[in-house]
Chains A and B, each alone.
Chain A
Amino acid sequence: MKKVLLSLFVLAASGGYVWSQSGRIGAENALAANGPGAPAADSASALPAGAAPQVKPMATSVIAQPAPAVLTAPAAVAPLPPQRIVADAPIPLPPLPIPRPQTAPRAPQAQILPAATLVAQSQTQFKDGSYKGPVTDAYYGNMQVQANIQGGQLASVKVLQYPADRRTSRNINSQALPMLQQEVISAQSASVDTVSGATLSSRAYIKSLAGALKQATAGQTNL
């Protein structure tokens, strides 16, 4: 088994530079492997809200699993204090019936990302300008990025398209968090210094970025 694992890692390392949670990439793999039309992530929308209410209340759950030796051996971890609760604000943490959709199984952890190599090695020798990468299929939608080169260096990566997995036919969790304020989100165009969002490192993202940087090497802007 260890040999199999090791060979998987060797395989992955030879082709891919991308370092990321293999589970996350794995999920993408699972989607891709199922092929178009497979009821992967989107099957969630078919489930009624409130299905499978097998959620234990957070406050009363017991943490008793022993960690494996590999985790407990290094640097003894001090026992943790109980969760700190904000004293002046009673926290609504009822046992929630969280809908748990059926989804694709875990995919194998190793995979090859050849496109990433180009991106990883490309620190210099670009021509200034903005370059759109190709629109790449992320299975659950399209991905496209734009590389902005200044002073021969990659200055920023702008995401032009990414899959928007939007489902509207869902009941708002009105009973779940009665004390926390809610609002409907709306797009803003306010000026900011940087943006916080989920990590962009899917295979489709890397592929589009690699395409943009290839153009940057040639200096052929397509904007």
Chain B
Amino acid sequence: MRETRIIMGMPITIDIVGVEDSRLHELAFGHFDAVDRRFSTYKADSEISAINGGELEPPDYSDEMREVLALAETTRWETDGYFDVRKPDGSIDPSGIVKGWAIRNAARLLRAAGAMDFFVDAGGDIESSGSNAEGGAWRVGIRHPFDPQAIVKVIYPRGRGVATSGSYVRGQHIYDPHRPGQTVTDIVSLTVIGSDVLEADRFATAAFAMGSAGIGFVESVRGLEGYSIDAAGIATMTSHFEALTQP
């Protein structure tokens, strides 16, 4: 059964094969709701708002907050500072890592609850498990950056996570932390496939901020593959990406 809800400002779709009631969906959607309540910078009563408002000190952070901030710090180091949840005004916006983390955890919840064949898609970042309804490998399209109805590639992640960063939807929205005030425009879409969706998402965000060098960075990190599309419609892929396009 497939169900979509709007949580965290984006459509989240959960498809579980062979399930006719929504008990498992409720479990996973409930997880996203809880993440939203804790990490939304748009909610005045969220924990992240309390931190940014100076009302909460580090010793009082929740375990979830500590985990996410530690992941963010890890990613900042791994990506030479291209991934950074700290904003120029001194506040923290962890949304760049929370999404991948939340999807991965939702997938873990589903597996722990006995689901075998499913995918979780939150705003175009995907973790899948097992097989689709036809018994085949889950098929994930990479959206065409200039045509919302079309895809440019089909990949078979086989349990890996898939995440895409892009500039085509909102205009330019990813900033280069090494160049305050500058945005990235030379590539329009970068899809990363990693061991899970958290890996894919955090590296996709960072590598996109590197511009055309980002795909080279993806190539350099073991376990990641990527597909980058520039403004002229030229794609660059990592050396083992094509294997993921084979059914």
Q: Are A and B a genuine interacting pair, yes or no? A: yes
Could you tell me which A residues sit within 8 Å of B by CB distance?
2, 5-6, 9-10, 12-14, 16-25, 27-28, 31, 40-41, 44, 54-56, 58, 61, 63, 65, 67-75, 77, 80, 83-86, 89, 91-93, 96, 98-106, 109-110, 113, 116, 119-120, 122-123, 138-140, 153-157, 159-168, 170, 172-173, 176-177, 179-202, 205-206, 209
B142 lies within 8 A of A86 (CB)? no
Q: How far is the CA of A83 from the CA of B76 in the complex (A)?
A: 12
Contact status of A170 and B231, CB under 8 A, knowing A103-B183, A180-B215, A182-B236: yes
A109 → chain B, closest Cβ, in Å? 7
Q: Is the interface of B mostly helix, strand, loop or mixed?
A: mixed
Q: How many residues of B contact A (CB 8 A)?
A: 126
Q: Which chain B residues border A189 with CB–CB below 8 Å? A: 150-151
Q: How far is the CA of A74 from the CA of B138 in the complex (A)?
A: 38
A162 lies within 8 A of B168 (CB)? yes
B181 lies within 8 A of A198 (CB)? no
A74 lies within 8 A of B58 (CB)? yes
22 contacts between A and B (CB under 8 A): A2-B53, A5-B91, A20-B8, A20-B9, A21-B93, A28-B173, A63-B77, A71-B92, A85-B222, A106-B175, A156-B11, A163-B171, A164-B145, A164-B168, A165-B231, A166-B231, A170-B230, A181-B236, A184-B233, A187-B152, A193-B128, A201-B123
Residues of B55-91 contacting chain A, CB below 8 A: 58-59, 61, 65-67, 69-70, 72-74, 76-78, 80-81, 85-91
A91 lies within 8 A of B220 (CB)? yes
A161 → chain B, closest Cβ, in Å? 6
Which of A119, A168, A170, A193 contacts B140 (CB under 8 A)? A193
Residue of B nearest to A171 (CB): B232
Which of A23, A75, A85, A93 contacts B66 (CB under 8 A)? A75
The A/B interface has a contact count, at CB < 8 Å, of 387
Q: How far is the CA of A140 from the CA of B139 in the complex (A)?
A: 31
B237 lies within 8 A of A194 (CB)? no
B9 lies within 8 A of A17 (CB)? yes
A195 lies within 8 A of B141 (CB)? yes
User: In the complex, given contacts A177-B212, A185-B234, A196-B164, what are 11 additional A-B residue pairs having Cβ atoms less than 8 angstroms apart?
Assistant: A13-B44, A19-B7, A19-B39, A19-B95, A22-B93, A70-B69, A109-B89, A157-B4, A176-B213, A177-B215, A186-B152
B179 lies within 8 A of A100 (CB)? yes
- Interface check B149, CB cutoff 8 A: yes
Residue interface bits B159-173, CB-to-A below 8 A is 1, else 0:
000111111111111
Q: Which chain A residues border B51 with CB–CB below 8 Å? A: 70
Which of B3, B147, B229, B232 contacts A187 (CB under 8 A)? B147
A177 → chain B, closest Cβ, in Å? 6
Q: How far is the CA of A140 from the CA of B77 in the complex (A)?
A: 34
B151 lies within 8 A of A188 (CB)? yes
Q: Which chain B residues border A17 with CB–CB below 8 Å? A: 9, 42
B151 lies within 8 A of A73 (CB)? no
